[in-house]
Structure 1
Amino acid sequence: MSPQTASTPRSDPPALSAERLRAALDGAASVFAPDDDGYETARTLEHGGVEHRPAAIVRPADTAGVARAVRFARDAGTPVSVRSGGHSVFGLGHADGALTIDLRGLEGIDVDVDGRTAWAGGGITAGAYSTAAGAHGLATPFGDTGGVGVGGITLGGGVGLLARSRGMTIDSLLGAEVVTADGEVLRVDAEQHPDLFWALRGGGGNFGVVTRFRFALGEVSDVVGGVMLLPATPASVAGLVAAADAAPRELTMILMVMTAPPMPMIPAEWHGRVVVMANLCWSGDLDRADAALAPVRNVAAAAGGAILDGLRTGPYAALLEGGPPAGSTVAVGRTFFTDGLDEPAAAHLLGELESVDAMMRAVQLRVLGGAVADVADDATAYAHRGAAVLGNVAAVAPTAAAAAGYTPWVETLADRLRGTSEGVYANFALDGGPATARAAYPGTTWDRLAAVKRTYDPANVFRGNVNVLPG
């Protein structure tokens, strides 16, 4: 699925001249044109399955190189897409015929231990950042995998294993360095360009290329976390959601109801069967961990015992392992919010997972509340603070055509699980079309974002995202 463009018609852009691009950049970035060695590698997304072919890919070495690339694209009438360093599962970091600005050359991090802040390059991954900060007993909340790019997860919101205790990633964002659509470099924070700073916290990549982020760091010593795998029953699925919702805010739980993959740590008799995988992180006092985890263990015992119990004490960064599976597969999915999940809804969910033959099908449930809900809806561009659960329904297939065949199933199940809750989470959206954008940014949030877009990107140069049109 391709990102939507602005509502005004656009003619096809002129063919990009790699020679002119190299001359304009003057050594400020590596350039990969379609005929160059390295182009195929540069355009590949780690999880496979997305076959976008940019007109060229540039990998700047610094902010000045990014600014030159943006100015070149603007003057040439070439669309821009931005890859922020991670796995870009749904392919919005690349676009056919675009000039892709790949930020993986901007991977530095500067930790101010005494000041509890860090400046991080726009191409660094959550795993690399968390390892560097964790060496000082510090952390910023990101997601649940190390391979995600800090830029992408931050701009969309950031809901991960520290969400209930420390908030979303955007709640730790203190400032940013941004290259706007005209190639200007801005320092942005609560006092400088505060409207843009508000928009960056959840409004996606609509407003410029963020080359550096300034984050607050919190003290995080060892945590208790890891994966528990349980038999999937209506009682176990609904019970885990209820336990996570009732838990102290120091416990965050991400549930994946899924067909068990053929991994060595999973007993062979469970391969291909529907299970519930609970990814947990207790970030409070270690002597309170057992009591906090007792309700989870009770659910496991009632289901017949855990299939796998991988909970352990260790550094937070160690929980951010891996990423999407490698290989040529394509995912189709729908994100939703819901007020909860009772046993009848869980029974329906399990029946639906058994009803299709996708090579991988799953429903992810991220239980929110805690510090996420402490922030007002209008304080940032993420406007769903009161939602109890963030969900995502997905099916994986070997080809795009095969995956598309599961779209009706995915949409129907997501609609059933969402109930009366509205909205979508921008970071889980597969497209940037108008309906998705309006659901991600409802009401006055949309109006405010559109006004910021009009100020900083009136021509909608940055549209390879969940796209907000200039208001």
Structure 2
Amino acid sequence: MSTTTLSPASVRAALDGDPAGTTTVLTPDDDGYEAARAIEPGGVEWRPAAIVRPVDAAGVARAVRFARDAGASVSVRAGGHSALGLGRDHGALTIDLRSLDSIEVDPDGRTAWAGGGLTAGAYARAVGEHGLVTPFGDTASVGIGGITLAGGLGLLARSHGLTIDSLTGAELVTADGEVVLVDEREPELLWALRGGGGNLGVVTRFRYALHELPTVVGGMLMVPATPESVAGMVEAAAAAPRELTAILTVMIAPPMPFVPAEWHGRGVIMANVCWSGDPETADAGLAPLRAVADRAGGAIVDMIRTGPYSGLLEEAPGGSIVATAGTFLADAVDGEAAAHALAELESSPAMMRAVQLRVLGGAVADVAPDATAYAHRDAGMVGYVMAAGPSAEAVAGYRPWVGALVERLRQRDGAYAAFVPDGDPALARSVYPGATWDRLAAVKRAYDPQNLFRANVNVPPR
């Protein structure tokens, strides 16, 4: 599909002041445009021809039909959180869903309907009032739309699965501007939404299953980073009962208030952990990780507490840094690989740099690889290498470093959609391998044959 660059005037003429008077249109000359196009945590440069902010599915459908008829591409902004710039497209029409932030909780039926612009933190707090959860990630400001459509790797992954494993239905605006209800009666479309990364349309509402979990034991444990402690933490997290999920970030400690001054600029492991079993058994479940910390000289910071799951979802740091990153799949990290990663982190000139390891298994692996569009069910972990700086020019110099470290740590083919830099088309087939690609492309052809929705990890229609 060829792309037409929209003129701001054409968008305003077509969409400003819709019949219901509910769609806001912002163009580059408008006050509020710069704020509306900002992406957390900052630094991603993009300039859509216009940003439209509907308040319901009908408004979204109207915007989609306009873009289709104009021959323009569509990008979708849900929570507005993407350090890598997914959901953006220069010169396109951006549909901003942040006004679609309602939530309806049915605690008796263990179901919630949530608007596509809601954030994970707002969702978790709302359902948490009833002692219930749906598994999301680890950041409160992330939109539920982006994380769900990518798969959803978070602090409940090993106990409750990916976010998509709790996705039971959706309200979707397709490329022809129709609003459709997706559930088990549309099995192929529901399959594709479970990990298909926004290729099929604009999800205006999601329906999730809810799980009883009034309290968890979790938080951050900061440990000195040595080859032995990195390998040991990975091994302990992988061998733990499924009630324990750990996200391990190996990094050079920044000068943050909670980090003791003597550790600023030194290698640490920030282990964000969540025990979702009986709180009385949490100490036993966490003991292997604490043992690794003790062997490394003791925990630097211990912020593990009992509380609601929503309390573990942190806000994004914000700011104007620019990041480059890469993703990989692995099953283990031995001492040699850990030593290499630490040496690279210590020598890199990047203002911020980190290797994050999301240890999986448990409920993630219970689901068959072909049951959803997220196919990497048997991977031991999803990894992420990041380097950040003050400008795009600075970050451009870090990309070879990121790429080399990713390849050194990679142990198997594959990638995670939410961590693919800028929707890199070269990695799309790694995200959706083999039969998954073919099946997703077939669904794409049925619902978006002109590839209107391509500001994503794109799967062209077959």
2:276 matched to which residue of 1? 283
How big is the shift at 1:93?
Answer: 2.1
- Choose the corresponding residue for 2:220, options 227, 232, 237: 227
Task: Give the paired residue count.
Answer: 460
Match of 1:32 in 2: 26
1:438 paired with 2:429, answer yes
2:337 to 345, 350, 369: 345
Aligned mates of 2:324, 2:219 — CA distance in 1: 27
Note closer, same or farther for the CA distance 1:11–1:101 as it changes in structure 2 (3 Å cut): closer
Residues 346 and 199 from structure 1, CA distance in 2 versus in 1: closer, same or farther, beyond 3 angstroms?
same
Please state if 1:113 is matched with 2:104.
no
Identity fraction in percent: 67
Q: Which residue of 2 aligns with 1:319?
A: 312
Report the counterpart of residue 456 of structure 1 in structure 2.
447
- After superposition, what is the alpha-carbon deviation per residue over 1:57-112, rounded to whole angstroms, capped at 9, x for unaligned? 01101110000000011111221100012412222222210110000000000000
**1:214 aligns to 2:207 (yes or no):** yes
The separation in 1 between residues aligned to 2:47 and 2:6, in whole angstroms, is 15
Q: Where has structure 1 moved over 6 Å in runs of 4 or more? A: none
1:3 aligns with: none
1:251 maps onto 2:244 in alignment: yes
Q: CA 1:77–1:25 in 2, change beyond 3 Å: closer, same or farther?
A: farther
Structure 1 residues 23 and 352: CA distance shift in structure 2, 3 A:
closer
For structure 1, the 5+ residue unaligned runs are 1-7
Tell me, in whole angstroms, the C-alpha distance in 2 between the residues paired with 1:23 and 1:50: 27
After TM superposition, the score normalised by the length of structure 1 is 0.96
Relative distance call for 1:23 and 1:132 in structure 2 (3 A) is closer
In 1, the alpha carbon distance for the partners of 2:418 and 2:184 equals 23
Q: Answer yes or no: is the 8 Å Cα contact 1:329–1:399 preserved in 2.
A: yes
Q: Deviations over 1:20-74 (max 9, x none)?
A: 2335734231110111111111111121111100000011011100000000111
The match for 1:63 is 57
Preserved CA contact (<8 Å) 2:17 2:24: no
Q: TM-score, normalised by structure 2?
A: 0.98
Residue 96 of structure 1 aligns with an amino acid whose one-letter code is H
Are residue 403 (structure 1) and residue 398 (structure 2) matched?
no
Q: Deviations over 1:343-398 (max 9, x none)?
A: 11111111111121100000000000000000000000000000001100010011
- Preserved contact between residue 25 and residue 69 of structure 1 (Cα < 8 Å): no
Distance between the aligned counterparts of 1:59 and 1:19, measured in 2?
12
Aligned Cα RMSD in Å? Answer: 1.1
Aligned-partner Cα distance in 2 for 1:248–1:46: 34
Match of 1:4 in 2: none
Counting only pairs closer than 5 Å after superposition, residues 34-113 of structure 1 correspond to structure 2 as 34-113=28-107
Q: Say which SS state the counterpart of residue 229 (structure 1) adopts.
A: strand
1:202 aligns with 2:199: no
Aligned partner letter, 1:268? A
For 2:253, the aligned partner's letter is: A
Pairwise CA distance, 1:13:
2.9
Name the residue aligned to 1:185: 179
Cα distance in structure 2, aligned partners of 1:383 and 1:25: 41
Q: CA deviation at 1:301?
A: 0.5
Contact 1:43–1:94 (CA<8 Å) still a contact in 2?
A: no
Is the contact made by 1:200 and 1:207 (CA closer than 8 Å) also made in structure 2?
yes
CA offset at residue 243 of structure 1? Answer: 0.4
The answer to whether the Cα contact below 8 Å between 1:28 and 1:64 also exists between their aligned partners in 2 is: no
Contact 1:141 1:169 (8 Å CA) reproduced: yes
CA 1:86–1:284: 2 relative to 1, 3 Å: farther
Work out which of the residue numbers 5, 9, 15 in structure 2 matches 1:22. 15
**C-alpha distance in structure 1 between counterparts of 2:120 and 2:3, whole Å:** 38
Q: Distance in 2 between matches of 1:468 and 1:376?
A: 21
- Where does the alignment leave 5 or more consecutive residues of structure 2 unmatched? none
- Please give the per-residue CA displacement for 1:435-457, whole angstroms capped at 9, x wherever unaligned: 21101000000000000000000
- The answer as to whether partners of 1:140 and 1:169 remain within 8 angstroms in 2 is yes
The CA deviation at 1:12 is: 4.2
1:376 aligns with 2:368: yes
User: Pick from 300, 320, 336: which aligns with 2:328?
Assistant: 336
Decide which moves more: 44-53 or 165-174: 44-53
